Structure 1
Amino acid sequence: MCGIAGFISNNNNNLELSQAESIQKHRGPDASGCLYLQVGDWHIGLAHQRLSIIDLSDAGNQPMAAADGQSWIIYNGEVYNYLEIRAELEQAGLQFHSTSDTEVILAALQYWGPEKALPKFNGMWAFAYLDGPHNRLILSRDRVGVKPLYYFFSERQLYFASEIKTILTMVGGRFSLNYQVIGKYLLQSLLETDNQTFFAGIAKVPAAHLVEIDLASPSLSLTFKPYWRLHFAEPPNDAGEGILKEVQDLFFDAVRLRLRSDVPLGILLSGGVDSSAIAVAMQQVLGPGANLNLLSAVSRDHRFDESQYIDIVARRLDQPVHKVMLDFQPSQAFDYLEKVCWFNDEPVYSFAVVSQYLLMQKAKELGITVVLSGQGGDELLCGYKKYLGFYIQSLLRQGHIPTALKTFWSFWRQDTVLGQFSIMEAKRYLPSFLRPQELNIAGEKLKDFQPEILGLSNNMTLQERQALDYQRFSIPILTHFEDRMSMAWARELREPFLDYRLIEKIIPLPPRYKLRHGWTKYIFRQAMAPFLPPEITWRKDKQGFVNPQSEWLKHELRPGVLDYFGQDSLMFKLGLVNHDNLRQKYRAYCQQSALKGNIWLIDIFNPLALEIWLRKFHDFIQL
């Protein structure tokens, strides 16, 4: 992974591009380069900060020119099937001068054109492609939007970059806040639900799209073109065994492709079925003697620690585990939150982001450059508790009452999901008349806020609701913070569960393949049962990378929280939060028993992180 930045302008903005280089240096410390061109009336600047992963030689440096010198690319990410694409291009007569995947991507874009090349790519990417023969600049992001790309646009200027802070620096001045985005975060704990950002005027290039800018035109305009959509086609009723084998094969191949690297690899291991499955697949591909570099976050508090399951997997693999103990002091907690909010470009949603930051720091200390992650497995396989509720709701709507009762009873008997139900977490998915009454902390500036509907809408299938989590409500924020925390330490994260082939195969499957016999992720558990210890395959509880943050906010961190919630805080001055209601809500939260009550820890954490973010980005905000 790397950093990219650029501009199109009727003026020469070389200074802004050099500033962008310094802002994004953490994304690519191995090499950097700038290119300045003029196409017609337009000045164009392209900058790249390289983290070397494949072909570590200078031949992989960017900006990179095509063989004929007419086209250029700056590219962030990995197209994992670049070897297969290269072979196809070589059969067509093309020659290559390096082993870099960037050279392959550039050749594919030039040979087939972006519209035909992009559907062939399997990976994560954000790039700017200057198509010289056709006088156009193409911006694009991968199907799920793993790699970031932001832009600021006016009729005579376009700035784009991997990070928001880079655009803020290049454009200069102060930006108005986007109150709708702030409202979603503060009141619904939602981030990255659309292409807007916290700054009005700065937007994201949409996932699964290319954006075309015509450089022959006297004024700039953006044309957005989708190149991929998820389609829903159910398999035959008798496809059970065949689907199981296909899911297994696709998963192992998704892991295999993501092991292509010229630098050391590792994996984030939580002890859950998703990350454990990736670990065993890695060993199957690399061989029993390979060092898998297992990385895990653990806690001294047994209520939140998963060492038991992590150690079970490690013993099965006969591998050591590099553990990061989450035992930093309260004073450090706020320092870490300031750091991660800066790297994240937005307020973070929990201390889990700090855990990720510390794990990536550990990876750097160990010399592990590429790390595999299990993100996406829950959305793909209905791993979250909410999906059971959505499924039963859809069955009742369709009049399938016996099936709904049978499903409920199977989960009750297995004691898997129902025992973990929490009204604190579930309330945002409920219709307003079923939600518990609570204080509204919204300030005057959020009076026009329009909330998102997060439940199962009328006539919506469970599969369509899963797709929404991939496109809007879950995956975008998870990939956002994984990108920022890994890039803070110049590490690359890869997510096998976000392979588009798995998405196309599993999300359209009927719910019975995912929620069955009292188990979530049923088809995947069956597929991985021959490879995993049964304690992992059929593990009933679910945590992930957790920490005792709910208790920290009530006790160890309370003095600091009260300081951030002081009368002079920016969120109150800017009219974003009601001071009295927030303080009252925090007092009520501190009186709740652990994991009980109606106030979720996120209800307190989000305004805290918002205030920290406002202070870090104060110089860019129109007050």
Structure 2
Amino acid sequence: MCGISGFYNYQRPEAGDILGRMNTSLSHRGPDGEGIFLEDGIGLAHRRLAIIDIATGYQPMTSSDGRYVTVFNGEIYNYIELKEELSAQGSVFKTSSDTEVIAEALKVWGIEKALVKFRGMFAFAVLDRKDRTLYLARDRTGIKPLYWAEKNKSVFFASEIKALLNVPEISRKADVSSMNDFLTLGFTIPPKSIWKDMKCFPPAHYAVIKANGETCLRRYWELNLSEKETSLDQAVEDVEEKLADALKYHVRSDVPLGAFLSGGIDSSLLVYLLKKKGIVDKISTFNVKFSDNAFDESPYAEEVSKIIGTDHHVLEISEGTPEILEKILLQYDEPFGDSSCIPTYLISQRMREHVKTVISGDGGDELFGGYDRIRNSRILYGLKNLPFKSLASGMLLAISPMIGKDRYRKYSKVISFSKAELPELFCLLHTYFSEKDKESMLTSSFLEAVRKESPSWKSMSEYIPENRGARVENLMLGMEFNLNLHADYLRKVDIASSAHGIEVRVPFLDNEVIDFSAQLPLKLKISSGEDKHLLREAFRRHISPGLGSRKKQGFGIPFDSWCNGRMRGHIKDLLFSDPAGEGLWRVVDRKEVLALHEAFSSPSTRDYGLLSRHQIYQRIFMLCGLQTWIRKFNPEF
């Protein structure tokens, strides 16, 4: 985990100072060193978190022949094998780092072939000084972040948006469409960002920027869903082999290594394989403990730790403070609505006291079918042609006093969602503020601007795989992998870990594991109502039959108890202290937010209308994020 930034064809006299400010803004990503390269309007900057080749791996790194200069965030796990292959073809290396391999691979194989060979997580920039060509690239799944902007024939790039905000030519004008996407989903839909001038560099792509001003963006890899028949026994054997092989590469490090251990399927399998396959002799594992039993998985994690034999650490998280909430929200340069960013941030903070590199189970849900909504998508889409839906809605309302509001809410959603076409259905299954909600909640001026933009489901549809004949569940899994994984989950982990100088590694997103999962029959992912059937079966066979059948809990936070004490007053002040027309009230209606806040402030009552308790506090958290962003940046709308 490092931070990179830079520009191409930027001739401003103070370009060096601007590059320095860009680099300084990313200091949290790399506390172990910094470097800058500046030559004829081309700048490359780097902040280093030293993981491999601590002594000689400093960047920007110049190739042995002086032609290439590289800045790189991430790890090329198979760099040793690639170095041997390149050395056999005449390449000469002066360091033991994986960074040096990147430029040599581009030189010998060309960028597209090199990228296909790379097994790792990365975002990098390589300058060819001879041809004055700049290459930008990002890994297959977007594990490592990269943003870019083009202004006045200059190109700027950085690991985080905050670095690009140091460039005077880049405006602070907000993208209305992205703000609408945030209210719908809790995150912005790439390649757009919340900022009109800045884009998210897409995963599995590279860009070639030439001296004549031409910029070419190309995809080098794409998820290919193609089910191939296999037995459960064979699949269990194969998935263990693929994950064990991936882990052998992912543990390459010159600093202490640990692992998240939630007690769930994904992290537990990885830790089991690390120990039982002899990949490591010992491993430190970490888990969060909450006082609210509904959110606390620590007993399961401790049980798994005892079975496998790890040095286990339980990190207790009590109620929150205004300072913590503000600090977490300010780490993001956009509003971010996933409240699990709070425990992710806090556990990263505590883990840094023990290790510098961490193995995580992220990606297992998207590859192997870990969400209830995957199954639900098939059921709901199957009801699309069900007749008399209007009559059913009326009857449901009539009997609502008898069935209760929880059931009424659930059945109403089933009827409503079953009317949608596939892309809209996928969006509805992720929606926090519906189109109807926004009609009443947004200010008239902002609502008018939103109506000129495409709805969020249209942008989401770009991420649905184009595999004709694929089943509904596989299509939704593909969309989760292509969109939610990097725009929400991986981003959350990157921001939290980079804030504390640790590197998180995700073996489930290894090239070989991804390709294996894409060919699995759907029945091995979801079977008889059981999610992640294959991984659960591997868990049951090797770790615990009982724990292997436990319902997925997810990594959430008990927001009600966490917001006791000073936090409740702080949230109220944060949301309501601005006068009319300022802050949050530039976007949303005060009366609507007040009604939502009143429901949030009364956790003892069960009368939330058609909203669940989770939906209420999730909406409050999203509005806190939006307000914090508006106050910090004062964006133009």
Are the aligned partners of 1:550 and 1:594 in contact in 2 as well (CA < 8 Å)?
Answer: no
Partner residue of 1:564?
574
Partner residue of 2:390?
none
Q: Once superposed, what is the RMSD of the aligned Cα atoms?
A: 3.1
Instruction: Confirm whether residue 451 of structure 1 aligns to residue 455 of structure 2.
Output: yes
Partner residue of 2:376?
389
Partner residue of 1:95?
92
Cα pair distance change 1:551/1:429, threshold 3 Å: farther
Deviations 1:523-579 (A, max 9, x none): 12223333212233221x222322211455588743222222216267756631111
Partner residue of 2:4?
4
Instruction: Confirm whether residue 530 of structure 1 aligns to residue 541 of structure 2.
Output: yes
Cα pair distance change 1:355/1:172, threshold 3 Å: farther
Q: Kindly state the Cα deviation for residue 208 of structure 1 after the two structures are TM-superposed.
A: 0.4
How many angstroms apart in 2 are the aligned matches of 1:425 and 1:561?
31
Partner residue of 2:631?
615
Cα pair distance change 1:118/1:474, threshold 3 Å: closer
1:28 to 30, 38, 52: 30
How many angstroms apart in 1 are the aligned matches of 2:412 and 2:366?
16
Give the match's secondary structure for 1:60: coil
Deviations 1:22-54 (A, max 9, x none): 11111111111111112xxxx101111111111
Q: Kindly state the Cα deviation for residue 268 of structure 1 after the two structures are TM-superposed.
A: 1.3
Are the aligned partners of 2:342 and 2:557 in contact in 1 as well (CA < 8 Å)?
Answer: no
2:204 to 195, 203, 208: 208
Q: Counterparts of 1:78-117 in structure 2 under 5 Å?
A: 78-117=75-114
Match for 1:389: what amino acid? N
Q: Kindly state the Cα deviation for residue 420 of structure 1 after the two structures are TM-superposed.
A: 12
Q: Kindly state the Cα deviation for residue 5 of structure 1 after the two structures are TM-superposed.
A: 0.7
Q: Kindly state the Cα deviation for residue 394 of structure 1 after the two structures are TM-superposed.
A: 5.6
Deviations 1:382-414 (A, max 9, x none): 111101112334667799xxxxxxxxxxxxxxx
Partner residue of 2:272?
280
Partner residue of 1:169?
166
Partner residue of 1:598?
610
Partner residue of 1:405?
none
Partner residue of 2:343?
355
Are the aligned partners of 1:369 and 1:490 in contact in 2 as well (CA < 8 Å)?
Answer: yes
1:543 to 538, 550, 553: 553
Partner residue of 2:227?
234
How many angstroms apart in 2 are the aligned matches of 1:431 and 1:180?
26
Match for 1:622: what amino acid? E
Q: Kindly state the Cα deviation for residue 595 of structure 1 after the two structures are TM-superposed.
A: 11
Match for 2:239: what amino acid? V
Q: Kindly state the Cα deviation for residue 169 of structure 1 after the two structures are TM-superposed.
A: 1.5
Instruction: Confirm whether residue 297 of structure 1 aligns to residue 288 of structure 2.
Output: yes
Deviations 1:144-196 (A, max 9, x none): 1111111121233221111101100133675111111111112x233142111
Cα pair distance change 1:240/1:573, threshold 3 Å: closer
Are the aligned partners of 1:344 and 1:481 in contact in 2 as well (CA < 8 Å)?
Answer: no
Q: Kindly state the Cα deviation for residue 612 of structure 1 after the two structures are TM-superposed.
A: 1.6
1:306 to 276, 297, 305: 297
How many angstroms apart in 2 are the aligned matches of 1:547 and 1:252?
31
Q: Kindly state the Cα deviation for residue 3 of structure 1 after the two structures are TM-superposed.
A: 0.6
Cα pair distance change 1:310/1:239, threshold 3 Å: closer
Q: Kindly state the Cα deviation for residue 450 of structure 1 after the two structures are TM-superposed.
A: 3.7
Cα pair distance change 1:64/1:398, threshold 3 Å: farther
1:190 to 176, 186, 190: 186
Cα pair distance change 1:398/1:581, threshold 3 Å: closer
Are the aligned partners of 2:362 and 2:508 in contact in 1 as well (CA < 8 Å)?
Answer: yes
Partner residue of 2:323?
335
Give the match's secondary structure for 1:171: coil
What percentage of aligned pairs have identical amino acids?
30
Q: Kindly state the Cα deviation for residue 136 of structure 1 after the two structures are TM-superposed.
A: 1.0
Are the aligned partners of 1:297 and 1:545 in contact in 2 as well (CA < 8 Å)?
Answer: no
Cα pair distance change 1:378/1:398, threshold 3 Å: farther
Partner residue of 1:44?
42
Are the aligned partners of 2:380 and 2:417 in contact in 1 as well (CA < 8 Å)?
Answer: no
Cα pair distance change 1:596/1:266, threshold 3 Å: farther
Partner residue of 2:391?
none
How many angstroms apart in 1 are the aligned matches of 2:255 and 2:607?
42
Q: Kindly state the Cα deviation for residue 342 of structure 1 after the two structures are TM-superposed.
A: 2.1
Q: Kindly state the Cα deviation for residue 476 of structure 1 after the two structures are TM-superposed.
A: 2.4
How many angstroms apart in 1 are the aligned matches of 2:362 and 2:266?
8
Q: How many residues align?
A: 586
How many angstroms apart in 1 are the aligned matches of 2:38 and 2:302?
53
Give the match's secondary structure for 2:167: helix
Are the aligned partners of 2:148 and 2:199 in contact in 1 as well (CA < 8 Å)?
Answer: yes
TM-score (norm 1): 0.87
Match for 1:375: what amino acid? D
Match for 1:114: what amino acid? I
Deviations 1:330-375 (A, max 9, x none): xx1x322221222222223244212111111112222x11011111
Cα pair distance change 1:580/1:597, threshold 3 Å: closer
Instruction: Confirm whether residue 326 of structure 1 aligns to residue 313 of structure 2.
Output: no
Give the match's secondary structure for 1:134: coil
Give the match's secondary structure for 2:199: strand
How many angstroms apart in 1 are the aligned matches of 2:168 and 2:589?
32
Partner residue of 2:61?
64
How many angstroms apart in 2 are the aligned matches of 1:496 and 1:266?
13
Are the aligned partners of 1:463 and 1:510 in contact in 2 as well (CA < 8 Å)?
Answer: no
Are the aligned partners of 2:298 and 2:314 in contact in 1 as well (CA < 8 Å)?
Answer: no
Q: Counterparts of 1:218-257 in structure 2 under 5 Å?
A: 220-236=213-229, 238-257=230-249
Partner residue of 2:591?
580
Deviations 1:74-109 (A, max 9, x none): 000011111221121122232322221111122111
Match for 2:472: what amino acid? T
How many angstroms apart in 1 are the aligned matches of 2:286 and 2:372?
26
How many angstroms apart in 1 are the aligned matches of 2:295 and 2:99?
42
Is 102-111 or 555-564 further displaced after alignment? Answer: 555-564
Are the aligned partners of 1:424 and 1:598 in contact in 2 as well (CA < 8 Å)?
Answer: no
Give the match's secondary structure for 2:576: coil
TM-score (norm 2): 0.85
Match for 2:636: what amino acid? Q
Q: Kindly state the Cα deviation for residue 131 of structure 1 after the two structures are TM-superposed.
A: 1.9
How many angstroms apart in 2 are the aligned matches of 1:108 and 1:547?
44
Are the aligned partners of 2:380 and 2:418 in contact in 1 as well (CA < 8 Å)?
Answer: no
Q: Kindly state the Cα deviation for residue 597 of structure 1 after the two structures are TM-superposed.
A: 5.5
Cα pair distance change 1:136/1:622, threshold 3 Å: same
Match for 1:85: what amino acid? L
Cα pair distance change 1:372/1:241, threshold 3 Å: same
Partner residue of 1:520?
531
How many angstroms apart in 2 are the aligned matches of 1:89 and 1:452?
45
How many angstroms apart in 1 are the aligned matches of 2:276 and 2:531?
25
Unaligned runs of 5+ in 1: 400-418
Instruction: Confirm whether residue 132 of structure 1 aligns to residue 129 of structure 2.
Output: yes
Are the aligned partners of 2:539 and 2:545 in contact in 1 as well (CA < 8 Å)?
Answer: no
Cα pair distance change 1:16/1:529, threshold 3 Å: same
How many angstroms apart in 1 are the aligned matches of 2:516 and 2:49?
32
Q: Kindly state the Cα deviation for residue 514 of structure 1 after the two structures are TM-superposed.
A: 1.0
Q: Kindly state the Cα deviation for residue 478 of structure 1 after the two structures are TM-superposed.
A: 0.8
Partner residue of 1:199?
195
